Amino acid sequence: MSQITKDILRIVFPVFLIVIVAFVALRIIANLVFQEAVDFMPEHLGLISAANFKLNLIAVSFVVIVTVVSLYIVVKGLRKIAEEDINKYLLAIESATNHIVITDANGIIVYANKGAENTTGYTFEEMKGNTPRLWGGLMPKDFYKNLWQTIKYDRKSFYAELKNRRKNQEEYYAIARISPIINYNGVLTGFVASEEDITKEKEKQRIQIDFLSLVSHQLRTPLTGIKWLIETMNRNVLGTVNAKQKSY
């Protein structure tokens, strides 16, 4: 049983119990009064029956009123539960360090968290009403064609590494995850996208590749490597070299 179902039962059951108990109590009281009146004044059976009918009508009216009030309490309770859940999820999204944006079905931005502002350099007010091309558009056309085919027509999540540009024109790399938002009727209502900035990781990879390439080159040409080392030592890069050491 889900937590939402438990919350609904926690609200509905006491209310339903109150309605049933109230109705049964009123019916018992009405029957007792009716019986006592008939026994005491049998000659006024018609008036007593009319009074009993009115009493039953009052009982039914009371039950209807209690039911309406109960439904109001239930709806209000469910709304509170829904608002608490939504606020919890929004707080989690807002607190996330990753860039997260939500768009409508046409890709127009309707929400962006602080992570998106920090990554792109744009404020939410600057993003709102725009599309993610505000900081994107640097990938080949086929990339975006495949992206839209996947999320809008195939209605599947899209995952890829891409390059974007911050507001200060600095380019950055990110892992993007974009998923369609589909309501209970199967209608596509928008998209949720997240980006993880991997610029620093990409820079580390580049430095490692350059270093390995240099080492590989030096190993293939040992004489060049020795010459390069001697020149480096003569420039005192590795420490001071005296005259006797230079003669060697």
Alpha carbon distances (Å) from 7 to 14, 73, 85, 162, 222? 12, 13, 12, 43, 75
| pLDDT of amino acid 80 | 78
What is residue 63's predicted lDDT score, i.e. its pLDDT? 72
Per-residue model confidence (pLDDT) at position 91: 76
pLDDT of residue 149: 96
Residue 81 is predicted with a pLDDT of 73
Q: For position 237, what pLDDT does the model report?
A: 47
Q: What is the pLDDT of residue 41?
A: 63
Question: Mean pLDDT in runs of 10 for the chain (248 residues)?
Answer: 61 71 72 65 62 70 75 75 75 82 95 94 95 94 95 95 95 96 92 94 76 62 59 55 58
Amino acid at 15: V
| φ/ψ (deg, to 5) at 134 | -55, -35
Neighbours of 238 (CB within 10 A): 10
